[in-house]
Structure 1
Amino acid sequence: MTKVLKSDQIAFFPVGNGDTILLSLKDNTNILIDCNIAKNSTDSNVEEKYDVMEYLLEKLPRDNNHRPHLDVFILSHPDIDHCRNISNYFYMGDPDKYGEKDKEKIIIDELWFSPRIFNEHKNDLNDDAKNFRKESERRIKLYKNGEGKNDVEDTGVGNRVRIIGSTDNEKLENLKNITTPAGQYINIFNNKEQKEFKFFVLGPIKAETDDTEEERNKCSIILKAEFNINSNETNNVVILAGDSRIENWKRIMNLNSEENLKFDIFLAPHHCSWYFFSKEDYKNKPVPEPDKDIISFIEYGKDSEDIRVIVASCKEIKRNEDNPPHYRAANFYKKAVGEENFYCLATYPDIDNPIPLVFTFTENGPIKQDIEETKKENATAPLIKVAATPKTYGQR
């Protein structure tokens, strides 16, 4: 039987240059953002040092038929390092047809995605992204046909869908009730309303989703997770920036104040890429300087007493010409938050045996889970060392 957490947590998995992030709430709501699961992958360039599927199958609740369920899966964008093996380990199709051959596949109760996936030519998508789009189309058709379990707006467990970002795409007409554009909050996940957690959608903005010339990375879903633990005010903020580039972030900064973009935890965009800091090629001579507005953003709050963390979901960062991850980009992040608060997932706690980086959210801000506690998978919620003063961001 799955043990219910007594607290809200986020786990960042070591999956190389890719993203796999699990938000687990204390009512046992589980939200997975992207998956780069290399287990049994046919890609010889992808190495798996941590078994993400074992973690998920142990963690997730099961129904009366012993089928594992995930409340929400969010695909930030359809590149392979964000959806690798989704169709092998997650169930795609009518949940009523789940059979013995599907055993141990995870049923996704609700799918979230950007409209951009429907702007892509199928030939431009990898097989996992094609299967994801097919499943999205199935769920959208159910919604449009009004085949809900309770009413037209609820297609039921295993059939629910939500679109993140507005669009003029004809395939997505008449879906306003299940569309959340940039600039809005969401606090209902798999038909469960949350009192102490919500997402604020930072991107993609409409111009990005409908411009067919835009790269997928520029159309990535970008979310701000806000927690108000034991409070009416926000006291934990995590920004999940997907594969955004400087162009995306400058637009976001034009729409949001620095105070509203202040974070406790920031996921370094595109696996610690240089192109979050500049449009210029990092190989140019003279060496390009980082954009001043981007530096201002990551350093905002630097002089406060609050600990701020930056997480790089990437392979080992080396002093070479790789991008991503980019060595110089990592140094700018370290300067902004302190070297001890910058985490490369491939080397946490060491490169030979990486484990998930887990934070628990408290009224005093996020607390990193002890390494030994993380290794005792699903044992109990960690003991919290409570800080002296409750933390607050104040009302938006």
Structure 2
Amino acid sequence: MLYKDQNNSSSKAEKHKILVYPVQNGDTSQIVLSNGKRIIFDFRHLKLGEEEDEPAINLKEHIGRELAEEKRDNIDVLALTHGDKDHISNSTEFFELRHNPKYQGNGRIKIAELWVPAAMVLETSTLDQWKNRAEFVLWRQEARYRLHEGKGIRVFSQPEMLKSWLEKEKLPFESRRHLITNAGETVPGFSLAKDGVEFFCHSPFVKHVDGGDVLRNEAALIFQVRFEVAGVQTNYLAVGDSTCDVLEDIVRTTKLHRNEDRLKWDLFNIPHHCSHHALNPEKGENETIPLPLVKELLLYGQKGAYIVSSSKPIANSREAYQQKQPPHIQAKNCYQKYLNQIGGRRFLVTMEEPNVQKPQPLEFCITDKGVNLNTFTNYGVNIIVSSPAPRAG
């Protein structure tokens, strides 16, 4: 749509897009497949983004306009990685919820399939008990409603708690098994042959839910999204807020199953707004030192890869080294170090591109040339920053 390079053969060939939106310390990204299917990961609309002089994007207006241009009032998938506010704020004003007519009509965007971790189904707080998490409760109600309907929902992980909940609701587990995907499985409904993409679920593990507090970041969705164009594969590591312990679990388990190919990445949307907690519980003075298996994951990045931090600008100043909340400059220094080691392309911060005054969505094109940052979208000039093509097959 915005990608126009008449001198580049890939501009005329099949391509997919990944868009990452500037929503401050929060997450929203979208995959637009060459066949037109749209998958949105999280949705954080900031009210202040509606102000003309505010750097954060007006997300509802922006995505609404994208869909209107295609004469669409729906998306194929909304994947909520977890229920924290920085991932779902004001989303229930934008999307249609099937469980309550109050959240229908008035131009709301319909969701063909909702993806949630099992933890979002199982949390027990009510609107009265947790008023500042009202939207989370609404999404939980929506997920439960769709589970009762037996359609339009995919739940990730099948802990004993989920089985118990289904039984309590008089929904035999076997009748809903087809709606559940576990860590280590690919998501039904998408394939490299049919769509040019597949979603491999890395997390959550059963223990992340059955182990206790079902709302914690350990239960968030993590995928390796694999694209294929003309036999060339490109891997996108899409991570909800997560911790270094979970990432170590993922590397350990994936290696145990001799499935290391699922750890490769050409684009890495790093967890939790460049927090050091995704690398090491200790921030470090100048640079966060990643835990051993997290280091391995960073080294699975391929030549020409990109790292994206969905966060506020990351200043290189004395004050930045002292701040407690992410983004952490020490974590950025770590990511940049390993990106350089693998021959990666760039470390990008959503609220810095093309400038901090008016950042725009990052747009990555996936073609038979690999992953390319479309700087025409971001800088107003028609330049494609290319990375070497990944392996075929």
Shorter chain as denominator, the TM-score bin is 0.7 to 0.9
TM alignment of 1:338-349, pairs within 5 A:
338=340, 341-349=346-354
Spell out the pairing of 1:312-331 with structure 2 (5 A cutoff). Answer: 312-318=309-315, 319-320=320-321, 321-331=323-333
Counterpart of 2:229 in 1: which secondary structure?
Answer: coil
Q: Are the equivalent residues in 1 in contact too, given 2:44–2:86 (CA < 8 A)? A: yes
Report SS of the residue matched to 1:307.
strand
For 2:46 and 2:289, how far apart are their aligned partners in 1?
35
Residue 199 (structure 1) aligns with: 199
Report the alpha carbon displacement of residue 55 of structure 1 after superposing the two structures with TM.
Answer: 2.1
Q: 1:55 to 1:286 in 2, by over 3 A?
A: closer
- String of CA shifts for 1:24-50, please: whole Å, max 9, x gaps: 0111100000011113689x9xx6621
Work out whether residues 199 and 224 of structure 2, in 8 Å CA contact, stay in contact via their aligned partners in 1. Answer: yes
Instruction: Call closer, same or farther: CA 1:365–1:192 in 2, change over 3 Å.
Output: closer
Structure-1 separation of matches of 2:384 and 2:328: 34
* Correspondent of 1:365 among 361, 370, 386: 370
**Mapping for residues 239-318 of structure 1, pairs under 5 Å:** 239-257=237-255, 258-280=260-282, 282=283, 289-301=289-301, 306-318=303-315
RMSD after superposition: 3.4
The one-letter amino acid of 2:234's match is N
Aligned residue runs from structure 1 range 122-271, under 5 A: 122=125, 123-124=129-130, 126-143=133-150, 155=151, 160-168=152-160, 169=162, 170-172=164-166, 173=173, 174-188=175-189, 194-213=194-213, 216-231=216-231, 235-257=233-255, 258-271=260-273
Q: Which moved more, 1:102-111 or 1:208-217?
A: 208-217
Partner of 2:118: 115
Distance 2:26 2:176 in 1: 30
Structure 1 counterpart of 2:46, from 27, 38, 43: 38
The whole-number CA distance in structure 2 between the counterparts of 1:264 and 1:368 is 12
Summarize the Cα distance change of 1:366–1:287 in structure 2 as closer, same or farther, 3 Å threshold.
closer
Question: Does the Cα contact within 8 Å between 2:363 and 2:377 map onto a contact in 1?
Answer: no
Q: Show structure 1 runs of 4+ deviating over 6 A.
A: 285-288, 382-387
Residue 296 of structure 1, CA deviation: 2.8
Deviation for aligned residue 1:256: 1.4
CA distance in 2, matches of 1:48, 1:104: 26
For 1:178 and 1:54, the matched residues in 2 are separated by 32
Shift of 1:314: 0.8
Deviation at 1:300, TM superposition (A): 3.4
1:363 deviates by 1.6
User: What TM-score do the two structures reach when normalised by structure 2?
Assistant: 0.81
Structure 1 distance, partners of 2:48, 2:331, is 32
Q: Work out whether residues 62 and 68 of structure 1, in 8 Å CA contact, stay in contact via their aligned partners in 2.
A: no
Deviation readout 1:147-195 (Å, 9 max, x if unpaired) = xxxxxxxx4xxxx111112222222434210111000012515x99834
Q: Partner amino acid for 1:199?
A: F
Q: What secondary structure does 1:188 align onto?
A: coil
Residue 12 to residue 239, structure 1, CA distance change in 2 (3 Å): same
Q: Secondary structure at the match of 1:91?
A: coil
Which deviations, in whole Å up to 9, do the C-alpha atoms of 1:179-219 show, x marking residues without a partner? Answer: 11000012515x99834101000000111022223651111
Contact 2:204 2:219 in 1 (8 A): yes
Shift in alpha-carbon separation, 1:386–1:252, aligned structure 2, 3 A: closer
Contact kept? 2:374, 2:385, Cα under 8 Å: no
Asked if the contact 2:311/2:351 (under 8 Å) is kept, the reply is yes
Aligned residues of 1:7 and 1:361 also touching (Cα < 8 A): yes
Residues 49-90 of structure 1: per-residue CA shift (max 9 Å, x gap)? 212222211222699xx7610110001000011111111111
Aligned residues: 356
Do the aligned partners of 2:46 and 2:89 also contact (CA within 8 Å) in 1? yes
Deviation at 1:295, TM superposition (A): 2.1
CA 1:40/1:106 → structure 2, altered by over 3 Å: closer, same or farther? farther
> Which amino acid is the alignment partner of residue 266 of structure 2?
D
Counterpart-to-counterpart distance in 2, 1:236 and 1:351: 29
**Residues 186/83 of structure 1: CA separation in 2 closer, same or farther (3 Å cut):** same
Contact preservation (8 Å) 1:166, 1:182: no
Per the alignment, in what secondary structure is the counterpart of residue 184 of structure 1?
Answer: coil
Match among 49, 52, 74 for residue 79 of structure 2 = 74
Higher helix share: 2
Which stretches in structure 1 are left out of the alignment for 5+ residues?
144-154, 377-381
Shift in CA distance, 386/325, structure 1 to aligned 2, threshold 3 Å: closer
Which residues of 2 match residues 86-105 of structure 1 at below 5 A?
86-93=91-98, 102-105=105-108
Q: 1:41 touches 1:85 (CA, 8 Å); kept in 2?
A: no
Q: Tell me if the contact between 1:187 and 1:195 (Cα under 8 Å) persists in the aligned partners.
A: no
